Amino acid sequence: MKERVNKNWITLLVLALAGGLVFKIPYLKYSYYDALVEALGVNNTQLGVLVSAFGWASFACYFPGGWIADRFSPKALLSFSFISLGALGLIYSTFPSYNVVLAIHIAYGAVVCLTYWSVAIKAVRLLSSGDDLGKMFGFWEGGKQISGLIISYSALAVFAKFNEAKLGMATIIVIYSVVLISVGIALLFLLKNISTVEKTAIPMNEMVTIIKDPRAWLIGAMIFSAYHFHIGLNRITPYLTQVFGMEGATASGISMFVLYVIGFIGAATAGILVDKFGSTLKVVRSLIVLAIVSLIAYIIVPAKKELTFVIIGLWGVAQFANFAIRGIYFSSLGELNVSPEKTGVFIGFASFVGFIPDTYYHIFNGKIMDMYPGVTGFKYIFSYMLFMTVICFVIVSVLYKKAKAYKNLNTKES
What DSSP state is assigned to residue 130?
A: S
Where do the H-state alpha helices sit in 72-132?
74-92, 98-115, 117-127
Q: Where are the domains of the chain?
A: 1-197, 202-414
Per-residue model confidence as pLDDT tens digits over 190-223: 766 555 544 445 566 666 778 888 999 999 999 9
- Count CA atoms within 13 Å of residue 139 on its CB side: 19
What superfamily does domain 1-197 belong to in CATH?
Answer: MFS general substrate transporter like domains (1.20.1250.20)
Per-residue model confidence as pLDDT tens digits over 310-320: 999 999 999 99
Q: Which CATH number fits domain 202-414: 3.40.1130.10, 3.40.50.150, 1.20.1250.20, 3.40.109.10?
A: 1.20.1250.20
- State the average pLDDT for the chain: 84
Taken as a whole, the chain contains a residue count of 414
> What is the residue type of 210?
I
Per-residue model confidence as pLDDT tens digits over 45-67: 787 778 778 888 888 888 888 88
- 70-86: b or e for each residue (b if 16 or more CB lie within 10 Å)? bbbbbbbbbbbbbbbbb
Quote the CA–CA distance of 320 and 49 in Å, as a whole number.
32
Least-confidence region, from 14-18, 101-105, 382-386, 407-411: 407-411
Model-wide pTM > 0.85: no
Quote the CA–CA distance of 330 and 347 in Å, as a whole number.
8
Which residues, at least 6 apart from 336, have a Cβ–Cβ distance to it below 8 Å?
A: 215, 219, 399, 402, 403, 406
Quote the CA–CA distance of 52 and 180 in Å, as a whole number.
23
